[in-house]
Amino acid sequence: MSALDPALLRPGRFDKKIRIDAPDLEGRRDIIEYYVSKMSHDESIDPLTVANETPFYTPADLKYLLNESLRYALFEGRTYMSMRDIRMAQPEHEYGVRSPIKNLAAEDKYRLAAHEGGHAIAVRLFTPEYRIARITIIRQGGAHGYVRYYPATEDYEYTSTYDTLMNRLRVAAGGKAGEMEFCGDGSQTLGVGVGWGGFQRFWADSCRPVHDGKCWHVRADRRRRQNARPKQRRRDHRCQSDSRNARTHGRNLP
């Protein structure tokens, strides 16, 4: 909606805006049943199980996942897909192409295992409402390893509390804690590339309410600036410039 010209959204053109969220558990199960019924598959595929393991997937995501699963089966010489094919295709859809490192040193494997294990333990300790679906140290896309977890119940969260944000930070720091515990002080990664994405996601979640204007004082200040007259805005800018000049001249005084 933000990419459209505001003139297109005037009354009389688009009077109603309908929000369509991602399907819930029952909706995903129905979508999966529809697509699976048109594909060759064995009895191991349970639409409800697949729906449980694909939270927040859109119909397009589900269709792509099943198509990729069938492609995995065809590459192995089978004309039908199984639950194993779906679980092989899902990480590629979420993280990228699987590309194991053949000559990875044993010390690096141990360090990666400690790092991802630290994340997994932090998830169980600080976010028990989440369930862990996958832990691996095999490179997938740009990640050398990852812990895949998602909420056990799909409750819509409009607000985030301080405790929620702090627990996310603890989970992001869990990888570093695992390295400190099992690898020693001098055998830790620098955090860039390994675990840094967790901190980026945390800060993105922390700053999103401010950027979206959900804080009342941010909205009030933004509204005041938008409604200010041009002369008032110029006067405010001139006062700020005078203040900066005064500080500059003050620093240059002997």
Confirm whether 10 is domain-assigned.
Answer: no
Q: Cite the DSSP H helix spans in the chain.
A: 25-36, 47-52, 59-75, 83-95, 106-126, 162-182, 196-211, 216-227, 230-252
Residue-by-residue DSSP string for 6-32: GGGGSTTTS------PPP-HHHHHHHH
Per annotation, catalytic residue among 92, 116, 129, 181: 116
**143 & 233 share domain:** no
Residue 177's closest CA among 125, 120, 108, 115? 115
Is residue 144 domain-shared with residue 69, that is, in the same domain?
no
* 13 domain-assigned: no
Reduced to 3 states (helix: H, G, I; strand: E, B; else coil), residue 37 is coil
Same domain, 90 and 136: no
**Segment among 43-47, 127-131, 248-252 with least mean pLDDT:** 248-252
Number of folded domains in the chain? Answer: 3
Would you say 86 and 50 are in contact if contact means Cβ atoms under 8 Å apart? yes
Does residue 158 belong to any structural domain of this protein? yes
- Residues 47-84 have pLDDT tens digits of 999 999 898 899 999 999 999 999 999 999 999 999 99
Residue range(s) defining the domain that contains residue 245 = 216-252
Question: What pLDDT score does 140 carry?
Answer: 87
Catalytic, 181? Answer: no
196 and 221 in a single domain? The answer is no
Distance CA 158, CA 54 (A): 21
Between the CA atoms of 164, 133, 172 and 126, what dihedral angle is there, to the nearest 10 degrees? 40
Residue 32: band (very low, low, confident or very high) from pLDDT cuts 50, 70, 90: very high
The answer to pTM > 0.85 is no
- Residue 253: pLDDT band with limits 50, 70, 90: very low
Burial label, 119 (beta-carbon count in 10 A; 0-12, 13-18, 19+): buried
**For residues 155 and 225, what is the distance between their CA atoms, to the nearest angstrom?**
36
121-125, 167-171, 232-236: range with highest mean pLDDT: 121-125
- Asked if residue 101 belongs to a domain, the reply is no
Q: What is the pLDDT of residues 83-118, one digit of tens each?
A: 999 998 999 888 888 888 888 888 888 988 999 999
